[in-house]
Structure 1
Amino acid sequence: MSGASVHVLVLPGGSYATHAERSSEPIVDWLASIGLSASVFRYPLMTRHPGPLLAIRAEIGSRRAAGVDTVGLMGFSAGGHAAGLAAYAPHGERDEVPDFVALAYPVVSMELGSHGASRINLLGEDADAALRVATSLDRLVSPDAPPSFFWHTVGDTVVPVEHAYLLGSALARSGVPHEAHIFERGNHALGLAREAGPASAWTTLCRSWLRSYGWAP
């Protein structure tokens, strides 16, 4: 990847109802500090599926059309779900699929009863079983999914760590290159997780993963 341009789109959390500040510009600033071009992409809110997915795909396509060689997504909570949809859902044009995803405490399953806010805001209160399956990341992973990095905490009471285990199992079954980190302590929405104990290591771990692919200097 030497000499190739890389850009990371940061997708904030916020239950598909808001864009959380903690996982917006501070993440872009950190990525800039390690030599990566990045920007916040404020995907549509309170918009039914596939609205956010289509907007993210269009943004990836526009970045590639502007000459970016490698486009990655870094998503947090509901933004992690949005990033995962862009990476794993079928029927996307090749130039609209990210080259990699890094997900922080992502919402993975729309079938679980936990964290109903993201599900209701994206799918509506009366979403049927088929729609929940079609928007659950663990159901969408296929062998051609892009390399994935994700982390979560056992102490997360908003989006339980079960979501992360479902994603990890799906990636493993499909043989998708991935790196996962589960930290014992820490609640939801940690962002950069500075002064959050062991979870604060996620930025160092993610940078090492990005460097291993040549995506970060």
Structure 2
Amino acid sequence: MKKILFTVMSAAISFAAVSQETIPLYEGAIPNSKPSQLQEKSEVAGNGRFLISNVTTPTLTVFLPPADKANGTAVIVVPGGGYRFIAAEHEGTAVAKALNEWGVTAFVLKYRLPSDETMTDKTIGPLQDAQRAIQIVREKAKLWQINPKQVGIMGFSAGGHLAGSATVHFDQAFIPNPLKTSLRPDFAILAYPVISFTDEFAHKGSREQLLGKEPAPDKLKFFSLELQVTKHTPPVFLMHARDDKAVKVQNSEVFAEALEKNRVKHDMYLYEKGGHGFGLINTQSDVDWMKYVYQWLFNQDLILKKR
């Protein structure tokens, strides 16, 4: 892996007004769903973070950058929450606004949380929604004035597992795809991601939520993302803290090893301290990890000059 050299950017993020529109992920029937009395719930947790649970109707919220900054690149943002809830603000909305500052069009995904009550097969429900998000963004690229060949995905924690699943399993469509639209992200950014479902490194809460208490071996392998990397996997940037006790840093390390083995472009930034779930700002470090992401995207022409 090459060492990143970054250009110093302003640490301040302007939260100027952005155009926002929330659209349903599916028109008509939602695939792999069944009738349920479950009601979506929003709440502010004790730590002040905004959480959404019991999601049955997935949506995509569009954050358009200022017209004079827009560069045609798009990122689908996938918040984490252990597949139990969605950390919609600090790993969702705040991230979208930061990406807008770079001229990137951002889409925050509110995905279905795995539930036997609401899905026929809960193991593939979130992945269906991630694939559908990629499909929508590509098929409506002209509407949002984005480049359909510059569509990335960014995920945090269990949202990183979902984004990573879409990154390695793009060649198998779990949704109707009549236009044969590519479901392959052009790049992925994974922050303190759940990667492996093996007993050694698994975040067992996320694994149990998605696969149940006694998952089948084939499912464990399918969703252990380090085992699914190929030479066709798109470029990946990884970020993690070495002292993360919730999702072990080895998750990112084994994924990086698999990317290296398959000669997939990638880079990784590891904090010494930071714990888990801090979003954009690690209060235990002076380093802004998003500066590394910016330079990584820029070096690969993934942040394009305005056309």
What TM-score do you get using the length of structure 1 for normalisation?
A: 0.93
For residue 19 of structure 1, the aligned residue among 77, 86, 92 is 86
Asked whether 1:186 is paired with 2:274, we answer: yes
SS in 2 for 1:125: coil
Superposition pairs for residues 109-128 of structure 1, below 5 Å?
Answer: 109-113=196-200, 114-128=202-216
In the aligned structure 2, how far is the partner of 1:196 from the partner of 1:86? 31
Question: Is the Cα–Cα contact under 8 Å of residues 274 and 283 in structure 2 kept in the other structure?
Answer: no
- Does the alignment pair 1:205 with 2:272? no
Q: Distance in 1 between matches of 2:242 and 2:263?
A: 25
Alignment of 1:86-165 (within 5 A): 86-89=166-169, 90-92=171-173, 95-113=182-200, 114-165=202-253
Number of aligned residue pairs: 214
Q: Report 1 or 2 for greater relative contact order, CA contacts < 8 Å, sequence distance ≥ 6.
A: 1
Structure 2: 5+ residue runs without aligned partners?
Answer: 1-69, 116-121, 174-179
Matched, 1:9 2:90: no
Gaps of 5+ in 1: none
Within 5 Å, which residues of 2 pair with 1:45-64?
A: 45-47=113-115, 48-64=122-138
Using the alignment, how far apart are the partners of 1:33 and 1:129 within structure 2?
A: 43
Bigger fraction of residues in helix: 1
1:66 and 2:153 are equivalent in the alignment = no
* Corresponding residue of 2:164: 84
Contact 2:114/2:126 (8 A) holds in 1: no
Please state whether the residue corresponding to 1:150 is helix, strand or coil: strand
What is the CA RMSD across the aligned residues, in angstroms?
1.7
Give the match's secondary structure for 2:240.
strand
3-state SS in 2 of match to 1:95: coil
Instruction: State the AA in 2 paired with 1:171.
Output: L
Q: 1 CA distance for matches of 2:94 and 2:264?
A: 29
* Partner Cα separation in structure 1 for residue 151 and residue 103 of structure 2: 15
Checking the alignment, whether the CA contact within 8 Å between 2:274 and 2:282 is kept in structure 1 is: no
Structure number with bigger Rg: 2
Q: CA deviation at 1:139?
A: 0.6
Matches of 2:86 and 2:211, distance apart in 1: 18
In the aligned structure 1, how far is the partner of 2:138 from the partner of 2:72?
10
| More off after superposition, 186-195 vs 170-179 | 186-195
Deviations 1:148-190 (A, max 9, x none): 0011011100001111111011001100000111111110001
> Which whole-Å CA distance do the structure 2 matches of 1:59 and 1:12 have between them?
14
| Percent identical | 32
Aligned to 1:167: 255
Q: Bigger shift: 24-33 or 106-115? A: 106-115
- Residue 4 of structure 1 deviates from its aligned partner by 6.6
Relative to structure 1, the CA distance from residue 184 to residue 73 in structure 2 (aligned partners, 3 Å threshold; closer, same or farther) is same
